[in-house]
Amino acid sequence: MALERFGDRWSLLIIRDLMVRGYRTFKEFLESGEGIASNVLSDRLRTLQEGGIISAETEESDARRINYRLTEKGIDLAPVVLELLIWSARHEKTGASCEMVERMAANRQHILQETRRRWERRDLTPILPKFNASKRSERGKQ
């Protein structure tokens, strides 16, 4: 059932970006550097909304602008997303430094608490620093 709700690449990237990068708008997702097509992004946002993983809210100042937000159901995916981030950075070419990966692995509980705190307070400060995903990580060079 979980794979039906969020088991494709694009859905997981949208969830990740909402959770750890602080992205909220269609434009931010589109320009994230992942190369998602606008029609695919629209479809995944709709699917995640229908599955109750994200919600869409219009801005008070501009009703045409929609901000996406994880729901309670969506933020409950934080442990899964964190483990995927750690696994990916350890075993694939992600551009994440070995130090950052080990810090995440050693501080899982703190990162999860901070992720939930930021979600509750609508704090858009990214959990992860920006890094160049096209560069090989130090671990990937070994």
Mean pLDDT, the chain, integer: 85
CATH of the domain at 54: 1.10.10.10
- Which pLDDT score is estimated for 9? 85
DSSP per residue over 46-91, as a string?
A: HHHHHTTSEEEEE-SS-TT-EEEEE-HHHHTTHHHHHHHHHHHHHH
Cβ 19 vs Cβ 81: under 8 Å: yes
Q: Which domain holds residue 124?
A: 2-141
- Global pTM exceeds 0.95: no
11-70 confidence digits (pLDDT tens): 999 999 999 899 999 999 999 888 899 999 999 999 999 999 999 998 777 778 899 999
pLDDT band at 127 (very low <50, low <70, confident <90, very high): confident
- For the chain, the domain total comes to 1
Q: Which residue has the tokens 């430094």?
A: 97
Quote the tokens at residue 83: 């483990």
